Amino acid sequence: MRRTVVIATLVTLFLVAIQLDILSSLRFAGTVVMLVWLWPVAMGLAGFTGLAVYVALLGGLLVDTHATTPFGLTALVGALVAYGASLLGREGVGDLDSAAYWVTPALATLAGFVAPVLYAAGGVFVFNFELWRGSLLDVMVVNALAFLLFARLVTRLARTVATVGDRVWR
């Protein structure tokens, strides 16, 4: 299990680096694709709840240290959608093998669509009402499309990482 956590941590750090150095510059319609949300969602869909929440908090907090938005919000939203995805993943609904080909991308798309709304809603709880004023719909659509495209690939990576150790942390 320790080995799994170490590898998951390393992969998360690598993905955070991609988020900060590449995706923040490579914007689509001015919108950043949130890989730090897709990664825990994929881990959740693969059925690994503990790891999904862990990588969501780790990746989200690291990104939050570089953003001027409320600290911890990215991590919290990531953890919420990852947990939700893992509930389905544990039942085999989002699993790559047991579910139909389109189910994993469809669930990831839904997560990509909902996560920005949760983010903007979360801002209200810390009295930051400006998050609603931006291009929320653009953010939702772009992230949903990106999650749709990369869901299977990232879920496969998540499953590989999570099953490296002798004992699987679920």
Which parts of this chain interact with other proteins (CB under 8 A)? 19-21, 23-25, 27, 29-32, 34, 63, 66-69, 74, 116, 119-120, 123, 130-131, 133-135, 138-139
* Minimum CB distance to other proteins, residue 130 (Å): 4
Query: Please, which residue, 114 or 138, has the CB nearer to other proteins?
Result: 138
Query: Please, which residue, 34 or 52, has the CB nearer to other proteins?
Result: 34
Q: Residue 158's closest CA among 82, 100, 99, 102? A: 82
CA distances from 168 to 10, 113, 114, 153, 163 (A): 17, 30, 29, 20, 6
Report whether 19 contacts 61 (CB < 8 A). no
Query: Please, which residue, 68 or 100, has the CB nearer to other proteins?
Result: 68
Residue whose pair of structure tokens reads 């299977």 in the numeric block: 152
* Minimum CB distance to other proteins, residue 109 (Å): 17
